[in-house]
Structure 1
Amino acid sequence: MSEETKELKKELAKLKRMAVEIASEIHDIVEDTLWTDYDKMPELSQKLVAAVSEANAFKTENGL
């Protein structure tokens, strides 16, 4: 595997991790504080959609 491919995969992993962290925040709200923090859900949902879209676009653009 070339060094460039390794770097691209590393960047993709970073983008995926960011999406998973947002999903984890949503999960925590649903499980623990839904009735007090439900108002955070729309913003987190938008961030999650953007993060997943970015990761998928990066993957497609770089043939990963």
Structure 2
Amino acid sequence: MSEMSEQDHKKELAKLKRLAIEVASEIHDIVEDTVWSNHVKMPELAAKLYDAVEKANSYKAEHSL
């Protein structure tokens, strides 16, 4: 298996960041539109967001990006 280039690492980091932003967007939509009926989804989404950001930050640090 070949080594990933710096460009490949940057693309992977962008993918990880996009996943975190998608969860944040879901949270935003609930807060803006349906907080009173969908607030029960918030703990799960908050955990998903936390994990996604941690994964992206770890990847960034691990690959000095």
Q: What TM-score range do you get, normalising by the shorter chain?
A: over 0.9
TM-score normalized by structure 2? 0.93
Runs of 5+ consecutive residues of structure 2 not aligned to the other structure: none
Q: Helix, strand or coil for the counterpart of 1:25?
A: helix
Q: Helix, strand or coil for the counterpart of 2:64?
A: coil
Runs of 5+ consecutive residues of structure 1 not aligned to the other structure: none
Percent of pairs with identical residues: 60
Measured in 1, the distance between the counterparts of 2:57 and 2:23 equals 16
Residue number in structure 1 paired with 2:26: 25
Residue number in structure 1 paired with 2:5: 4
User: Which consecutive segments of 4 or more residues in structure 1 shift more than 4 A?
Assistant: none
TM-score normalized by structure 1? 0.95
Judging by fraction of residues, say which structure has more helix.
1
Aligned pairs, how many? Answer: 62
Q: CA RMSD in A?
A: 0.9
